[in-house]
Amino acid sequence: MTSSRTIASPFNLLPVALTGALCALGFGPVFGGWPGYLAAGGGVLLGLVLAWISAGRWGVALTTAAGIIIYIAFVGVLALPDTTIAGFLPSLETVQRGTLLVVQSWRDLLTVAVPAGVFSGPAVVPMLSALICSTAAGRLALTRRWYALAGVPMLVLLLVAILWGTSRAPLGGWIGFGFVIVLLGWIVIRQAHDRAVAHELSGFDTARARSWTRLLSAALVLAVSAGVAVMVSPMITGADRVVLRRFVEPPLDLRNYASPLMSYRYLEVDQKLVTQFTVHGLPEGSRLRLATLDTYDGVVYNVAADSAEFVRAGADIEPRRTSEDQASAMTMQVSIDGYRGVWLPGGGDLRGVTFNGANAADQTKTLYYNEGTGTALVTAGLEQGDDYQVQIVTPPPVDRATLADHGIEDVAVPSTERVPDAVLKKTAEIVAGAATSVDQVLAIEKALQEGYYSDGSDGQSMSGHSEARIESLLSLPEMVGDDEQYAVAMGLMLDQLGIPSRVVLGFYPSDGSVVPQRWEALGTDAHVWVEVPFNDLGWVSFDPTPDRDRRPETTVPKPNPKPRPQVQPPPVPPQEPPEAPMQLSDDESDQDNGWQIPWEVIKAIAAALGIGALAASPFLLIAALRDRRRRLRREAELPADRLSGGWAEIVDTATDLGIRVDALQTRREQASELAARVPDADIDRLAAAIDYGVFGDGTPREAYIDQIWATTALAASTMRASAGRWRRLAYFATPVSLARPAISGPLEKPQPIIRRLLGRKP
């Protein structure tokens, strides 16, 4: 039953639909077109349906519960199509991701690259905001008193489209203009309608009495609208359009930075004698780490793309989980010379980093640290003149003779892809006689050290560590390469054996000399090695690269003492003219240039809406039959029948709520029993007023009948509100009163409402 405070006409939802469509257009640029339109438009449509069903019937709690169900049912189709079953049915993944994205999607939409439509998840923002705002606006638009406030939720939706959008908004001005025109026009129409209704009921011309008031109100509304338009116009259009994307720093995306291993040959050859940086305080026997590489894709060994492991760091860093809290940290001073890059020399078990150079402020703000790999990254970059201190805990020396006693630790590492076939063959050949995993690691290291070293300056070794380069290293009769190739080959071999490992790029003296207190690291001091985790020892270093003095032999070809005379080649035979290529007709070449209708999306939406409509059809049918019965009673021919029909609505409501009403009692007796069950509904006074209108002298006026029906609607709403939660829910699925409707008078034979709706006599 519709409350007296609501209006049943669907016309009142039209302005919400129009402003919702305008807001949906605002999500187009950030999503690159139809993904934004689909999510926002679908959310508006679902919100309007929910508002129409719930207005005047359901409370806020029940409406919210229904909104949650609708969101879970349709979030897969509108925002997460890759998680659905058959393109429209929500799966367990849909429910899980949809729940998490209620919070996470707001951040994701601000941090992903535009257009966001290529990503799965950000579309939850327009769908969810449109669903909430259109539901709230629709419920307000259907009220008799607060309809003007329906523009507030839609304004919130418009602000979401602006703030979570992009600076590029070609339709921004038209959207804002249309939004204001629709709202003002609708308010004017509703006010005119309300004045006409008031004049019809009272007979007093309120329009003439309030002409000056309306004139002043209209002028005030126009002035406020003009002021708001002037203030928000920069937010809607222009290059200075205010969006949150400008003020939100996106998360670290390692795909923006090349693998540091790709620059190894440049350091080794081109920067061979160039000082990269100067280090003060590096402990004897230690290595200066630059980056830890733990994933391979067949092209490059890189830092794992899971940037969630990289966190912002500063002058103080908490000890990592695998280190001892009481371990004493030492201080290293690093001054940058020829080195250029974002990877911070001096990684490891860090306790803090303090920058001192001219770019210290920017470098401090953009320092990231991965405690699992000991890699530090400065997105602001490092260049000549930069200076910083590193607080670091150096690992103790490891006795290799005890490795077998500790055993290899089981550590999860990223998987590798596109491993060359030669890696499998060479690995099987090397570890054929190794009994344990530790023996296999040592055997691979020793076998690779028996190869030859070449930095490519002699033409014996190509740079890089791609699938093809590693294939040639291991398949040729003699292995020739540098640190880059040998370390990657060992890492791939260990991965095939299921032994966790990682590749590390760093610096230590190439000649094996002791590191002085002040050490100038040259390009030739750059090295690549492999680390394997051992129980109680941590990551232990292995050097598979041969000694740099182990060079491949080169032979100079002898000249031919008796060169043969050159023979003139025979003339080239004439060639037949080539066949002309087959030309495509204009129709064939242009047939795919037109826009294609997304039929799959339309089918998925239609199927989802069909399933939802089918599931809701029993409840909608009951609601429609009740509404039809109420209108038949309200529009009865005789005034007395219209008054008695109001009481029949009270009895039917009680019946569907599980309250038994004796049909043989008088109206006063029925009212007395119902008042005892629902004291707040004021049913006694309603029954007395109906009896006065039915049995009193004269014919009751229409205004009196309207008042009776308004009181009836309020009493029925109070009866439903006083029932328990489950009884209120069961009310919408209970058709008892449709099969056994209330009688108009205590002595009249009851007639089924379904039979009366069909126009049949019993």
pLDDT of residue 41: 93
Residue entry with tokens 């006689």? 433
- Of 167, 344, 284, 757, which is closest to residue 519 (Cα–Cα)? 284
User: Would you put residue 66 in left (φ > 0), alpha (ψ -120 to 50) or beta?
Assistant: alpha
- What is the tens place of the pLDDT at every residue in 679-688? 887 888 888 8
Instruction: Specify the amino acid at residue 498.
Output: G
- Contact, 487 vs 544, CB < 8 A? yes
- Contact, 366 vs 379, CB < 8 A? yes
Once rounded to an integer, what is the mean pLDDT over residues 529-544? 94
Return the half-sphere exposure (C-beta side, CA atoms, 13 A cut-off) of residue 642: 20
pLDDT of residue 305: 63
Once rounded to an integer, what is the mean pLDDT over residues 522-532? 95
Residue entry with tokens 């187009």? 28
| Cis previous bond, 115, omega within 30 | yes
**Segments in 203-274 forming alpha helices (H):** 206-209, 211-236, 264-265
- Of 251, 312, 237, 255, which is closest to residue 110 (Cα–Cα)? 251
Once rounded to an integer, what is the mean pLDDT over residues 379-385? 93
User: For the chain, what are the domain ranges?
Assistant: 10-169+241-246, 254-393, 409-511+526-542, 605-757
Instruction: Specify the amino acid at residue 221.
Output: V
pLDDT higher at 635 or 729? 635
Cα–Cα distance measured from residue 527 to residue 413, given in angstroms and rounded to the nearest whole number: 22
Which tokens sit at 338?
A: 């020829």
pLDDT of residue 293: 93
Containing 599, the helix (H) or strand (E) segment is helix 599-634
pLDDT of residue 95: 92
Question: Which regions of 550-706 does DSSP assign to beta strands (E)?
Answer: none
User: Which residues, listed in sequence order, are joined to residue 527 by a DSSP beta bridge?
Assistant: 506
pLDDT confidence bin for 249, thresholds 50/70/90: low
Cα–Cα distance measured from residue 334 to residue 355, given in angstroms and rounded to the nearest whole number: 10
Which of 417-431, 621-635, 744-758 is predicted most confidently? 417-431
pLDDT higher at 534 or 311? 534
Task: Examine the pLDDT at 356 and tell me if it is beyond 70.
Answer: yes
If one counts every other C-beta atom within 10 angstroms of the C-beta of residue 354, the result is 15
Q: What percent of the chain has pLDDT over 90?
A: 33
pLDDT of residue 278: 95
Q: If DSSP states are collapsed to H, E and C, what string results for 38-76?
A: HHHHHHHHHHHHHHHHHCCCCCHHHHHHHHHHHHHHHHH
Task: Examine the pLDDT at 514 and tell me if it is beyond 80.
Answer: no
Task: Examine the pLDDT at 584 and tell me if it is beyond 50.
Answer: no
Once rounded to an integer, what is the mean pLDDT over residues 206-211? 48
pLDDT confidence bin for 736, thresholds 50/70/90: confident
Give, to the nearest 10 degrees, the angle between helix 151-163 and helix 14-26.
10
pLDDT of residue 6: 53
Residue entry with tokens 């919400």? 16
First to last CA, the chain: 27
Task: Examine the pLDDT at 573 and tell me if it is beyond 60.
Answer: no
Torsion, CA 188, CA 190, CA 195, CA 200, rounded to 10: 140
pLDDT of residue 598: 62
CA distances from 635 to 539, 630, 695, 743 (A): 86, 9, 19, 16
pLDDT of residue 203: 53
Task: Examine the pLDDT at 81 and tell me if it is beyond 80.
Answer: yes
Cα–Cα distance measured from residue 83 to residue 98, given in angstroms and rounded to the nearest whole number: 10
- What is the tens place of the pLDDT at every residue in 9-54? 677 888 889 988 998 888 888 888 888 899 999 999 999 999 999 8
Is residue 566 classed as helix, strand or coil in its secondary structure? coil
Which CATH architecture best describes the domain 409-511+526-542? Roll (3.10)
If one counts every other C-beta atom within 10 angstroms of the C-beta of residue 101, the result is 22
- Of 733, 753, 726, 757, which is closest to residue 621 (Cα–Cα)? 733
